[in-house]
Copies of this chain bind each other. A is one copy, B any other.
Amino acid sequence: MGLYIGLLHYPVYNKNQQTITSAITNFDLHDLSRLAKTYGVKRFFVITPLEDQRRFAERIIQHWTLGHGASYNPHRKEALELVAICASLKESMACIEEAEGEVPLLIATDAAEYKNRPISYTRAGEILVSGRTAILLFGTAWGIDRAVLAQSDYVLEPIRGIGIYNHLSVRTAAAVILDRLLGKYQ
């Protein structure tokens, strides 16, 4: 039981709604791993089919977990130790199944409304708090390919602010989502 997160670099859309593989962004690794550590996420999967991109991510993570960075900033070490690099969503789902002994619930996120299997923050939060193993999937670039949304168990409601603007970075969107699902405050 437990919550996992994934950051998908393929298949995602570019600005012309074509399916692409996006490049890994260094800041995403740092910001999302620190979020994962803050909200008790068990593992953060960075997902890309490109081998050189996986090597690039591994180099960054090794710098902060084993190299000079580990002693320079132990808080980053603690966070980046949660990262696992995978070639596909399927591979990360299999890793979770192996560790947990159950198939994780796949909860995808998107900036746009998705008509099939939408889920509210309250309901998704209840499921997570109940201890059901789940992976919360975030898309890079212009969002997760619809083929992946279609195979998800749920698609979380989009973040609506004040007005119609909804173009948050994946870093800040993930922060809002994790806090809505798990944050406690007065």
Binding site for B on A (CB under 8 A): 15, 27, 30-31, 34-35, 37-40, 73, 75-76, 78-79, 120-122, 157, 159-163, 165-169, 171-176, 179-180, 182-186
19 A-B pairs (CB sep. < 8 Å): A27-B171, A31-B171, A35-B168, A35-B172, A37-B165, A38-B159, A38-B165, A39-B162, A40-B162, A75-B165, A76-B167, A120-B185, A120-B186, A159-B179, A159-B185, A168-B175, A171-B171, A173-B175, A180-B185
Residues of B within 8 A of A161 (CB): 37-40, 182-183
How many copies altogether? 2
CB distance A167 to B79 under 8 Å?
yes
For residue A175, give the distance in angstroms from its CB to the closest CB of chain B. 4
Residues of B within 8 A of A37 (CB): 161, 165, 167
Given A121-B185, A185-B180, does the pair A78, B165 have CB atoms closer than 8 Å?
yes
- A172 nearest CB neighbor, chain B only: B175
CB distance A179 to B182 under 8 Å?
no
Residues of B within 8 A of A122 (CB): 186
Given A38-B166, A73-B15, does the pair A183, B176 have CB atoms closer than 8 Å?
yes
